[in-house]
Copies of this chain bind each other. A is one copy, B any other.
């Protein structure tokens, strides 16, 4: 493996571990063992645990965008795109590709009470996502496709909360219908059929 491949392999393993044990649960030693590398080999790629956490957050946010936004971005702005996002989001929440569920949701609950760079990186990504949702909801209202009294900020909050609830429902309670429930609840939150 060249340096870039090594870096990618470390981050992939870091995201998997952090999805179960949290970003604070990441340890350079454990990553080194899992990847059959030296601790200095892992640390050399990132310089510090905080830098590793920051890069893990960036990877996880990029994966989220690729799985939830990209499948819908070719659709017409407003309700068609928003509907596509909600469908992709419910599918992603049921199979996010991390053993411990969606990292964005897990990290948000882990870091919402802490100050620091990791939290700021995460908050920035989630805030951008909220702004994207608000924009599409606003467009859909403007087009007459959603009720004019819908509050775009409230609706974006509700969509986010519903999607974030899928992981615990699925992993803690084995609710196999959680994805379908979420897709249905998202449509209800937007007051679309």
The chain A residues found within 8 Å of chain B, CB to CB, are 19-22, 24-25, 99-101, 105-106, 108-114, 119, 122-123, 126-127, 130, 151, 153-154, 157-158, 160-162, 164-173, 175, 177-178, 181-182, 184-185, 188-189, 191
Question: Within the oligomer, what is the number of copies of this chain?
Answer: 2
Q: In the complex, which residue of chain B has the Cβ closest to the Cβ of A99?
A: B113
Q: Is the CB of A20 within 8 A of B114?
A: yes
For the residues of A in contact with B, the DSSP-based class is helix
Residues in B with CB closer than 8 Å to A108 are 109, 168, 172
Can you pick out 16 interface pairs between chain A and chain B where the beta carbons lie within 8 Å of each other?
A20-B114, A22-B24, A99-B113, A106-B113, A109-B109, A112-B167, A126-B172, A126-B173, A127-B173, A157-B165, A157-B182, A158-B165, A161-B169, A161-B182, A164-B164, A164-B168
